[in-house]
A and B are shown apart, each in its own frame.
Chain A
Amino acid sequence: QQQVKQSPQSLIVQKGGIPIINCAYENTAFDYFPWYQQFPGKGPALLIAIRPDVSEKKEGRFTISFNKSAKQFSLHIMDSQPGDSATYFCAANRSYGKLTFGQGTILTVHP
């Protein structure tokens, strides 16, 4: 029940493409869904986060879509750039719980 399943494991797109990373969860007590971006040799950095009372949140080129009934959420990167090449982790948590990470997606954006 604590798992967050993330797919795909890796993703390759051309510059300007729209990579989509999907996550699914089981625990209905989760009420906070962040996405972290990690570059090689660096720690993860919070990219964008959503709460279950909204179905979509956009920050710049990054959009989270949230489907509460399906217990799924996804990250879309518009107009992807080579600088977006990184590992992306979805995560889920509840107010006083432990952040549960997905397994990660390695994104490569070719020039």
Chain B
Amino acid sequence: DTEVTQTPKHLVMGMTNKKSLKCEQHMGHRAMYWYKQKAKKPPELMFVYSYEKLSINESVPSRFSPECPNSSLLNLHLHALQPEDSALYLCASSQLPGGTEKLFFGSGTQLSVL
């Protein structure tokens, strides 16, 4: 299994809602990532988990809250989002932490904030 699975594929939420994005991998990877991608732009790193501990937070607003319950799962909790947060949210994993590791991306969650 070489897949990173993300759910849901699409999500529409209001600015007062609370929702969660889920990501799962069964490749035994020890690093997991959240990226945000706007249309026609490259992915932007949000968070990195190394060995289930948060190692990088790219100054992301607190309305985004990551969680890594175990080595296979990664969640992104969303609360009080703004319309400008509408984007494709990508989860990725790599075998080990480190800049030269191959990243495996999921297909993303397309988020619309109304």
Contacts and interface: CB of A to CB of B under 8 A. Distances in A.
A46 B93 CA distance: 12
A31 B45 CA distance: 19
Interface in B72-107: 90, 92, 98-100, 102-107
A101 to B, nearest CB: 3
B99 A96 contact: yes
Interface stretch (B11-19, B35-43, B60-68): B35-43
A104 B44 CA distance: 13
A98 B98 CA distance: 8
Interface stretch (A11-19, A36-44, A68-76): A36-44
A43 B106 contact: yes
A87 to B, nearest CB: 8
B45 A95 contact: no
B41 A32 contact: no
B43 A44 contact: yes
Contact of B100 (A32, A43, A102): A32
A43 B42 contact: no
A106 B41 CA distance: 11
Contacts of A97: 99
A89 B102 CA distance: 14
B105 A93 contact: no
Contacts of A101: 42-43
Contacts of A99: 45, 99, 103
B107 A43 contact: yes
A94 interface: yes
Interface string B20-58: 000000000000000000001111010000000000101
Given A41-B107, A44-B105, 12 more contacts: A43-B4, A43-B90, A43-B106, A44-B103, A45-B105, A46-B103, A46-B104, A97-B99, A98-B45, A99-B99, A99-B103, A103-B41
